Structure 1
Amino acid sequence: MENTARQIPSSFRSQADGLAYFDSLSVAPVTGLAGLWQGHGVASEHPLDGVLENLGWYGKRFTTDLRADALLFAVGPHRLVAIDPAMIPLRLAFRFHRFGRTQVARNLFSYLQKICRAKAPVASLRSMSFRGKTSTAMVYDRQPITDHFRRIDEDRLLGVMAVEGVDRHYFFVLTRTKRAP
């Protein structure tokens, strides 16, 4: 059964609620995802809740050869910049997550974007088992991160970012966009 009329929660009361919702969704096949996807986080008491949005996160771009721009940021109203996640020190990001939600962090990140730009796609799409189902996952090339996806409907995915060694998961929604990549 397709999940066509599903409402997306604006937040989850807990990680367990987020994972239960994720588990209720159908698999997202690795084919047919090519294109530009706009994202937004779903609060779940994760340290990174609100950080990406504060920094101008736009979403992700998947290519037909199963590669991906894992972190796209809006630079002005008509330009997207792909950031190389390998340039982000994960331990510091988790430790200073409150700073990531400040105006100072937003301003600093706007300057750091030039040195953090990706020269090519930085992740790969593949089928992978997670929580009892095989679905599409995006595996980062140079970070211990995997984003697992389940289908909300034809044009929306729920993502769960899993970082090796971190018990909590970051939840986000991707919506297929018609914006030119």
Structure 2
Amino acid sequence: MTLTREAAIADFWTRVDSQEVSDPADLDAIWAALPTVGVDEILGDWKGGELPSGHRMDGLLASVNWHGKWFKSPYDVAPMVCRDADGNLYSNTEIGKGEASLWTVEFRGESTASMVYDGQPVIDHFKKVDDATLMGIMNGKTSLVRDKHFYFYLQREDG
């Protein structure tokens, strides 16, 4: 299925709002229609959410009180920003197995901003939904389930 960018964005928001499990092929069609993004464009603080697809990680981020990601600079990245029992945000380096860095990485034939974890074989790739929203795909040896990726989104907090 090929989508126009406008149709992909509308479909993206429908899936974010519903939180129903999507067929990965439908999420891949949205991804394919979105533009790539540069590392400098995504610096800042982001709140995240899942795009459920039947992946084994669906629901796990909420169980660890995942809030989002902090991209302070290309080499100062907190991939697992969580809330503690008092509601304070912190970088959960135990779950993230360290922190991360931002690179431009080719994925599916396109070069786009990607977050490379320091302590595990995982890369999160990003594409632009709008100026304040990113779609993400988690990729790597430990995140693939029968060749299927984990899908998520980020919304800018620091406008």
Partner of residue 125 from structure 2, selected from 148, 166, 170: 148
Q: TM-score, normalised by structure 1?
A: 0.72
Cα drift, residue 178 of structure 1: 2.9
Given that 2:5 and 2:33 are in contact with CA atoms closer than 8 Å, whether structure 1 keeps it comes out as: no
Where 1:162 maps in the other structure, the secondary structure is strand
Moved more, 143-152 or 14-23: 14-23
Q: Which residue is 1:170 aligned to?
A: 150
Residues 21-61 of structure 1, C-alpha deviations (whole Å, 9 max, x = no match): 11110001111222110000010111111110122110000
Question: Aligned residue pairs: how many?
Answer: 146
Alignment of 1:99-118 (within 5 A): none
Q: Which residue is 1:16 aligned to?
A: 25
Q: Which has the higher contact order (CA 8 A, sep 6+)?
A: 1
Moved over 6 A (4+): none
Q: How has the CA–CA distance of structure 1 residues 176 and 150 changed in structure 2, closer, same or farther, with 3 Å as cutoff?
A: same
The 2-side partners of 1:151 and 1:62 are apart by 15
Counterpart residue identity of residue 178, structure 1:
D
Where 2:41 maps in the other structure, the secondary structure is coil
Alignment of 1:114-129 (within 5 A): 122-129=99-106
Cα drift, residue 162 of structure 1: 0.8
The reply to whether residue 82 of structure 1 matches residue 91 of structure 2 is yes
Q: TM-score, normalised by structure 2?
A: 0.81
Q: Which residue is 1:96 aligned to?
A: none
Give 5+ residue unaligned stretches, structure 1.
Answer: 89-115
Q: Which residue is 2:112 aligned to?
A: 135
The 2-side partners of 1:2 and 1:61 are apart by 27
Cα drift, residue 168 of structure 1: 1.6
The reply to whether residue 34 of structure 1 matches residue 43 of structure 2 is yes
Percent identity of the aligned residues? 30
The 2-side partners of 1:77 and 1:173 are apart by 25
Q: How has the CA–CA distance of structure 1 residues 35 and 162 changed in structure 2, closer, same or farther, with 3 Å as cutoff?
A: same
Where 1:175 maps in the other structure, the secondary structure is strand
The reply to whether residue 159 of structure 1 matches residue 136 of structure 2 is yes
Residues 84-104 of structure 1, C-alpha deviations (whole Å, 9 max, x = no match): 2xx44xxxxxxxxxxxxxxxx
Rg larger in structure? 1
Give 5+ residue unaligned stretches, structure 2.
Answer: none
Where 1:47 maps in the other structure, the secondary structure is coil
Given that 1:81 and 1:117 are in contact with CA atoms closer than 8 Å, whether structure 2 keeps it comes out as: no
The 2-side partners of 1:80 and 1:117 are apart by 17
Residues 59-90 of structure 1, C-alpha deviations (whole Å, 9 max, x = no match): 00001244310100012565111112xx44xx
